[in-house]
């Protein structure tokens, strides 16, 4: 059976959703029923009688089968600020049981679940809850999305160290080109391959997403080990 996975990133705005959507499409193209999940999303607009997040909607559109919004995104927080601050501002307490229940329902509807985190790795979700508690509770390996821009090497190495220090399995990393002007991008990627003690599972080019599936063959293989 395919493995489900938790997608985190070196920062906010570095392409976790783009990568998650590309991975969902790559899995679907190989006949795997892959479903996306965004447990906690801050930054929503009111649509169809509920708060709705753009990233969660993108995951739903790329899922097979598309899940109900409430299962994909159990915590839809209005303000586009750090999740624990958005939740506190609304009087909401983010907790594991609703996330676990939604994940179980999604896992029952498909072959694997691609769970996208919020922001970077060390994000507080509540007074006693950190983002690392999600993949630990769901027992998911982690893929780190590295936003390829100036400073990405330090961010990636620190994130990888923190993921392992928090007791999670780092399955690998995916580079996402977000700065077309990044100097020495190929050299940066080479350094990441050398210094990150985890395999590179794909490199997504800058620009349109018309054909990103083939770039994630290694990620798909990591999630679909041979029987």
Q: Are 51 and 76 in contact (CB under 8 A)?
A: yes
**Catalytic residue from among 38, 57, 149, 155:** 38
DSSP 52-94: E-HHHHHHHHHSSSPPPHHHH-SEEESSSS-HHHHHHHHT---
Residue of 176, 187, 175, 145 lying closest to 163 (CA atoms): 145
Cα 33-34-36 angle, rounded to 5 deg: 145
16 is catalytic: no
Report the alpha-carbon distance of residue 173 to residue 160 in Å, rounded. 9
Q: What are the residue numbers of the active site?
A: 38
């Amino acid at each position: 059976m395919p493995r489900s996975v938790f997608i985190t990133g070196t920062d906010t705005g570095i392409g976790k959703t783009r990568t998650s959507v590309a991975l969902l499409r790559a899995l679907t193209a190989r006949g795997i029923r892959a479903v996306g999940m965004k447990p906690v999303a801050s930054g929503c607009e009111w649509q169809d009688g509920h708060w709705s997040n753009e990233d969660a909607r993108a995951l739903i559109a790329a899922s097979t089968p598309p899940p109900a919004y409430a299962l994909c995104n159990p915590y839809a927080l209005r303000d586009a600020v750090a999740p624990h601050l958005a939740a506190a501002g609304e009087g909401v307490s983010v907790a594991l049981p609703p996330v676990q229940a939604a994940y179980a329902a999604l896992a029952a509807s498909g072959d694997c679940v691609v769970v996208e985190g919020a922001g970077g790795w060390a994000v507080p979700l509540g007074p006693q809850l950190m983002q690392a508690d999600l993949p630990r509770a769901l027992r998911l390996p982690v893929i780190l999305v590295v936003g390829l821009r100036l400073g990405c090497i330090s961010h990636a190495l620190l994130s990888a160290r923190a993921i392992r220090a928090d007791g999670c399995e780092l399955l690998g990393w995916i580079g996402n080109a977000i700065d077309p002007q990044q100097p020495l991008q190929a050299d940066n990627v080479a350094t990441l391959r050398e210094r990150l003690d985890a395999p590179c599972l794909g490199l997504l080019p800058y620009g349109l997403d018309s054909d990103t599936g083939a770039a994630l063959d290694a990620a798909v293989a990591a999630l679909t080990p041979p029987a």
